[in-house]
Amino acid sequence: MYYTSEDTYELISKEVNDPIREWKNCTVSWMNFPIYESEKWFFASMGLLAEWVKHALPFPTLCPEERQRRRMARKNDHHYFRRTCDKTWESIISTYHSSLPWPVYSVKAWRSDAWDALQYAQEIQRDKSFFSQYKELHNKVPKIAMMNDNGVASENCEYCQNVAYSKDCYLTTVSWKLRDCYYSSNMATGEYLIDSFFTMDSKVCYECTESYDLHTCFYIQKSYSSQRCFFWYDLRWCADCAFCIGLTNKKYCIFNTEYSKEEYQEKIQKIRLDFQHHPEKYLQKRQDFQQGKKMWWIHNVQVEESVWNNLVNTKSTLLCFNLKNAKKCKYWRFWDTWIDGVDLTVWGELERCYEGIVPDNSVHCTSTIFCWKCIRVRYSEMCHWCTDCFGCVWLKNKQYCIFNKQYTKEEYEKKVAKLIALMKEHKERWEFFPISLSPYPYNHTIAQDYFPLSEESVEAYWSTWWVFDKQQNSNETLQVKLSLSDAEILKSIFTCKVSWRKFKIMPKELEFYRKHSLPLPTLHPYERYKKRLAVMSAKELEQKNNELQLR
């Protein structure tokens, strides 16, 4: 794992005119990391007011990389299991395995009014640490099978994890405002996007990554405002280009050579037909053409005093990746539209939040997980439309609650002051939920995708590891073949030739491949996701020749 060096931090400080006020030593990696001037003021403003006393937010004890790992170890986006709903007893698909000790409800049952999370209320116990008490509450309150708003603000998105405001999506994760999207991740505002990653404000795309404003594009990376482009990289305001690198305002180009409209259409038609049957040949051609070409790995558009990669319309953002419409943010990954936040993983339309996972539409929240449209909520999970709650799980439209127990405003402030003292006593104060409290094994979380560990090393991070058993599949090993008819494809269950996991091709998906002359996938959706991660640009900065470069 790569940690940002002190030299890099210092150069960043000069680049964005943000002085380093203090150095801290990470208690996990033992690496030094800075507290910038802007962070100092942020932490001072994020304190909690209880009984007329301002309980300030202390500086973090972990470096940014370990804080990111700790949050990511709470997110399972791609590993699903069949189990039974503990409310209706129907068969459901869930991110939680049936062997886990807590109840799991279907999305519909969990969001219904047939149960009340206040019934699981707990009193504060002075002889136990905060996190041990929170674990007791967490293990009692029913969990939602898949984190989505299907049946509320979304329609026909039952099998999507962390998806909202969408329609007719399937096995898509960490996205919102989509329609007819399949097997895609970290998306916002789009239609007919298949096997893509962080392709924003786009329509009709396949295998596109880290791009914006694309239309009818396939196998495109780090490009924007382009249409009808096919393979490859760094295209800006282009149309009808194929196998091109680093073009701006170009049309009718193949391998960076410009043709007339007629010549281009004749050549590309032959290529597209041949590609459908021999994709590997063209993948090799792409690699051969790439050799010797200058590749720009830092792609930022309309940024001011901002450092890191793939930023669009940002100001004063530091060490952020894949962001748009951001201002005064630090150590963030993925999503759009926010102001003044630090250490968040996936979010949208929020303000002044710290150490959270998906605090969408929230204000002044700290250490929350999937808490939406909340104000001044701390150390809580799955709380929606709540204000002034602490240590709660799945509350709706509640205020002044601790461990799911209702209090008056005066009681709440007194209890919170005592709870903060208890957390300080156990050295838990303002630390995010430890990895040991994650409901998922480490290798089933996105922490393994971005901060991979071996099975032997996971124990050092107080986590667990599960092995996928290939033998749970039947002996049938049907793989995708060109000779299969459409009817045979739709009724068949295929076996991934890499992981041996089963997968299907859905009707709308097949229709998309046929319409755009695309080859059928031969790998399980998770293996395709891992391949996209492998070709994405680096996410670590280093100082080299007095310049910031991606490592």
pLDDT at 455 over 50: yes
Dump pLDDT digits (tens) for 373-390: 999 999 999 999 999 999
User: Where does the pLDDT of residue 120 fall: very low under 50, low under 70, confident under 90, or very high at 90 and above?
Assistant: very high
Over pLDDT 90: what percentage of the chain?
A: 62
pLDDT at 318: 81
Label residue 545 exposed, middle or buried (CB < 10 Å: 0-12, 13-18, 19+).
exposed
For residues 478 and 170, the model is more confident at: 170
Strand positions, DSSP E, 195-291 = 197-200, 202-206, 209-221, 224-227, 230-236, 239-248, 251-254, 257-258
pLDDT at 540: 61
pLDDT at 101: 87
Query: DSSP H helical segments within 240-343, as ranges?
Result: 261-277, 279-290
Residue 285: count of CB within 10 angstroms of its CB:
15
CA 249 to chain centre: 32
- The rounded distance, in Å, linking the Cα atoms of 361 and 411 is 27
pLDDT at 459: 81
Q: Which helix (H) or strand (E) holds 16?
A: helix 6-16
Following CA atoms 380, 386, 389, 391 in sequence, which dihedral angle do they give, to the nearest 10 degrees?
-20
Is 425 within 8 Å of 403 (Cβ atoms)? no
pLDDT at 82: 94
pLDDT at 395: 96
3-state secondary structure of 52: coil
The closest alpha carbon to 473, from 494, 445, 489, belongs to 494
Is 102 within 8 Å of 143 (Cβ atoms)? yes
Mean pLDDT of 129-154: 95
pLDDT at 471 over 50: no
Q: Please report, as a single letter, which amino acid is at residue 369.
A: I
pLDDT at 323: 78
Q: Using the CB atoms, write b or e for 488-527: b if 16+ within 10 Å.
A: ebeebebbbeebebbbebeeebeebbeebbbebbbbbbbb
User: Where does the pLDDT of residue 422 fall: very low under 50, low under 70, confident under 90, or very high at 90 and above?
Assistant: very high
pLDDT at 103 over 60: yes
Q: Which helix (H) or strand (E) holds 7?
A: helix 6-16
- Identity of the highest mean pLDDT range in 201-205, 317-321, 349-353, 472-476: 201-205
Lowest mean pLDDT among 61-65, 211-215, 331-335: 331-335
Mean pLDDT of 197-215: 93
For residues 145 and 346, the model is more confident at: 145
The closest alpha carbon to 525, from 50, 159, 112, belongs to 159
Going 87 to 389 to 135 to 164, the CA torsion angle's sign is positive
Going 443 to 143 to 378 to 330, the CA torsion angle's sign is positive
- The rounded distance, in Å, linking the Cα atoms of 11 and 542 is 10
Dump pLDDT digits (tens) for 292-308: 666 565 677 777 877 77
The C-alpha angle 237, 532, 3, rounded to 5 degrees, equals 100
pLDDT at 551: 53
Q: How far is CA 134 from CA 245, 391, 392, in A?
A: 52, 6, 8
pLDDT at 313: 80
Mean pLDDT of 82-92: 96
Structure tokens at 460: 């050092």
pLDDT at 348 over 90: no
User: Where does the pLDDT of residue 403 fall: very low under 50, low under 70, confident under 90, or very high at 90 and above?
Assistant: very high
CA end-to-end span of the chain, whole Å? 12
pLDDT at 548: 55
- The rounded distance, in Å, linking the Cα atoms of 367 and 107 is 24
Domains of the chain: 6-60 (no CATH), 161-290 (2.150.10), 478-535 (no CATH)
pLDDT at 473 over 80: no
For the chain, how long is the longest CA-to-CA vector? Answer: 79
Is 271 within 8 Å of 219 (Cβ atoms)? no
Is 402 within 8 Å of 412 (Cβ atoms)? yes
CA 170 to chain centre: 17
Mean pLDDT of 75-102: 94
Dump pLDDT digits (tens) for 56-86: 888 999 999 999 999 999 999 999 999 999 9
